[in-house]
Structure 1
């Protein structure tokens, strides 16, 4: 006799696993923590093993949970894509989306193209800015949805992924050996600036800002010319740049969370569909920019 998996249980498990917290998962799924706990217990009973373990810093996946999560992600994505095809005729209207400069091409370009092709009645407006600016725009109601980068230990938003911040330089470049260390960031409000400044201060490493007012493209040019190094998320590093190795003497940098935020009034199919596209884009394997 064929047995069927309950997509609702799988979605709850995947959300709890991604967020590392039943509290945050309950906010995203609009379920009580008790309901989420019951669904996880039902799923563990079905598979016959523990999938999650409690940890002082949140919930952690067991080895069986890691394997199970990898198997069910494609099922959730396929389920949502089928429903999108069924409902696409009802999705229409304006939607304002904010994305950080470094994530547009490397993570979301393909999914945004697919979204616009699948829902031609949607009027998508894209705003690119630094994460702190995007978060402010969501709070003011100037954006409907935004993806931002934030410190892992800070609160807010739905966690889509965790990525490590790395030092990057020109291919076989020498800028990282200079003193003071030449650095180029995208702008004064770059979300990585405090982490970079703190890491350099802890190592008492002298540095100077070479360029930080021309946006991502200008920063790429400065780094490619070997005039400075920069700090980017590992998954966004261009193929023709080098991730500077840990033995180069530079201080380690922390990981960052990539999170999805919605304005209070951003409810309905048009926003749910875009959020699903963004969520699935981060769930799929990605290549560096």
Structure 2
């Protein structure tokens, strides 16, 4: 008997896997979290197997889910390629994309790869900087698009997701107990800086700057070495660090 997979369900499954979150996938797909959960359940019913299981860090693929993920991504890529070619809407050109430092290797990496696979004729030029710098570059016409971080509120752009800002330290570290509190921030232009300074002031905490040079990797290394704490969006915190 011939059976067909619903590519909409596969797309939801791949998106949930990429983001490791039903909520983040719902934002990306412009669906409610309930709709995403229902689509995953429908796909599991069709395939007669569980695709996800939960642990303390969130969603994790089952063995069946792992097998489906790679094939599902290829199926979507082929589906999108057929639509682009047959519908005569092949996309080509150059795009200058600005991305905040901490979003490149976490949330956007799978998105950029999927886009590059789907639209191989598009040349993506990636520019990484702090969010205020990217906003200025966009206004000046130096980049075409920007994915930046802002506090919740009125914005000139479209909100892609809402996330929590959290304190982060080394696994089992002691830096958070030191006074003055050792704090590492990527740069003085960091979008998080006003919120961080406000929180420290409200708590009446003495603090000192340990490292500040605009390099996200160096900041991460400083935190891993338990020399300081820092702040990140909850969804971008490396698995080997504590919130």
Output the TM-score relative to the length of structure 1.
0.57
Structure 1 residue ranges, 4+ long, deviating more than 3 angstroms after superposition: 68-74, 78-85
Report the counterpart of residue 147 of structure 2 in structure 1: 147
Report the counterpart of residue 108 of structure 1 in structure 2: 108
Matches within 5 A, 1:246-257: none
In the TM superposition, residue 203 of structure 1 has moved relative to its aligned partner by 1.3
Partner of 1:158: helix, strand, or coil? coil
Separation in 2, partners of 1:184, 1:81: 44
In the TM superposition, residue 132 of structure 1 has moved relative to its aligned partner by 0.8
Specify every segment of 5 or more residues in structure 1 that has no aligned partner in the other structure, as ranges.
Answer: 1-6, 8-16, 19-24, 26-60, 244-289
Report the counterpart of residue 159 of structure 1 in structure 2: 159
The 1:85/1:191 distance shift into structure 2, 3 A limit, reads farther
8 A contact 2:185–2:219 mirrored in 1? yes
The 1:125/1:149 distance shift into structure 2, 3 A limit, reads same
The 1:162/1:84 distance shift into structure 2, 3 A limit, reads farther
Q: 1:41-92 CA distances to partner (integer Å, 9 max, x unpaired)?
A: xxxxxxxxxxxxxxxxxxxx9xxx6524654799xxx999945641256211
Q: 1:214-269 CA distances to partner (integer Å, 9 max, x unpaired)?
A: 410000111111110000001111111111xxxxxxxxxxxxxxxxxxxxxxxxxx
Partner of 2:231: helix, strand, or coil? strand
The 1:142/1:195 distance shift into structure 2, 3 A limit, reads same
Q: 1:157-177 CA distances to partner (integer Å, 9 max, x unpaired)?
A: 111111100000011000000
Q: 1:14-58 CA distances to partner (integer Å, 9 max, x unpaired)?
A: xxx96xxxxxx9xxxxxxxxxxxxxxxxxxxxxxxxxxxxxxxxx
Report the counterpart of residue 87 of structure 1 in structure 2: 84
Partner of 1:231: helix, strand, or coil? strand
Matched, 1:67 2:34: yes
Separation in 1, partners of 2:151, 2:81: 33
The 1:107/1:223 distance shift into structure 2, 3 A limit, reads same
Specify every segment of 5 or more residues in structure 2 that has no aligned partner in the other structure, as ranges.
Answer: 1-7, 9-25, 43-74
Partner of 1:106: helix, strand, or coil? coil
For the aligned residues, what is the CA RMSD?
Answer: 3.0
Report the counterpart of residue 198 of structure 1 in structure 2: 198
Report the counterpart of residue 283 of structure 1 in structure 2: none
The 1:117/1:135 distance shift into structure 2, 3 A limit, reads same
Q: 1:178-228 CA distances to partner (integer Å, 9 max, x unpaired)?
A: 111110011110000000000111111111111111410000111111110
More relative contact order in 1 or in 2 (CA 8 Å, sep 6+)? Answer: 1
Report the counterpart of residue 118 of structure 1 in structure 2: 118
Report the counterpart of residue 217 of structure 2 in structure 1: 217
8 A contact 2:80–2:118 mirrored in 1? no
8 A contact 2:77–2:117 mirrored in 1? no
